[in-house]
Amino acid sequence: MAPQKPMTHFFKPLQSGGVKRTFSELVSSNKTVETKNVQNENKVIDKDVEENCVKTNEVVTPDKKERMAANHILAKIKLQGTKTCALHHTIGHSWFQAIEPEFKKEYFSELSQFLTSERSKSVIFPPEHLVWSWTHFCDIQEVKAVIIGQDPYHGQGQAHGLCFSVLKGVPPPPSLVNIFKELASDIDGFTIPNHGNLTGWAKQGVLLLNAGLTVRSGAANSHKDKGWETLTDAVIKWISNNCQGVVFLLWGAYAQKKASVVDKKKHHLLNAPHPSPLSAHRGFLGCKHFSKCNELLLKQNKAPVDWSKLPIE
């Protein structure tokens, strides 16, 4: 594949006396080109699925077409992953399709180079196959609630791709302990589990998204401002633009700023202090976000979240 073209490739030189465009207009034009390129690639995939079945005289059943399309998407993911290692082939297909233009941008290439260097000399959490686990449990169109964290836990065996959540056998960290305390106070019948794995929420459409997706062992915020924040901003913007009535549970100033791109006319934003022991007593404990979230979902005829459904994964 030809190397990435410079931004100037997409713009014609201004003629004498022509109308000048601002830099922001040029960037917007470039984004439109990137999006159209991805859309054209997807049309080619659909055509290939049909033509392959015609050549082999196979009946194009809905199931077969779906399987073939999934294989095409996986092939695209793996191909892109050979160019930018920050993308792992385990990413959920609907999520890849939603934010595909991001993987072709310069910041993502630079992020990949940074991760290659970091992994060559340090232990990085979570493991590569779990970095994208927040995309594994529901399609992006099915997200109905969002909880935003900052960066993954940096202790051995803790992080597995879902914010605030830890793997089986790892004691719940202090912030998660306070989350469980609030749940026990807010939700009738909630029993604090003996583990900290929140996969049960993710399977119900709760996006547990860290702003940064990787971290160096023992070094909090060590991968801050390397590109992940731009990628996760794109995820939030996509949900804001393409979904309706999503409930954002925003704990702390960082999460609230991160969600500033959300359309408040279409979605619901619940704000409270962070559940950290340093701030939980300032208003997180007693915020009743979990019951409020379910009330907002029920008003839209959406299934409420069963916050008690936390089987050990």
Taking the C-alpha atoms of residue 262 and residue 238, their distance in angstroms, rounded to an integer, is 9
The residue behind tokens 């779906």 is 66
Neighbours of 62 (CB within 10 A): 7
Residues 6+ apart with CB under 8 A from 77: 87, 89, 91, 93, 96
CA distances from 93 to 53, 74, 137 (A): 22, 7, 11
CB atoms within 10 A of CB 191: 11
Catalytic-labelled residue, pool 48, 63, 139, 151:
151
Q: Is 188 a catalytic residue?
A: no
Q: Which residues are catalytic?
A: 151
